Amino acid sequence: MNLKVCGTRVAKAHHSTPDPEDSMRNLIDWETADRSVRAMYYRKGAARFPVHGDLAAFDFPASRADETLVRELHGAAFSETARNIVLIGGPGTGKTDLATTIGIEALRAHGRRVQLFCTVEP
- pLDDT score for 122: 45
Distance CA 102, CA 96 (A): 10
In this prediction, residues 18-45 reach a mean pLDDT of 82
Q: What share of the chain is helix, strand, coil (3-state, %, to 5)?
A: 60, 0, 40
In this structure, CATH architecture of domain 49-122: 3-Layer(aba) Sandwich (3.40)
- Residues 2-15 have pLDDT tens digits of 445 555 666 665 66
Contacts of 50 (CB under 8 A, 6+ apart): 96, 100, 116, 118
- Residues 44-56 have pLDDT tens digits of 777 777 777 677 8
Q: Is 0.85 surpassed by the pTM of this model? A: no
Distance CA 39, CA 52 (A): 17
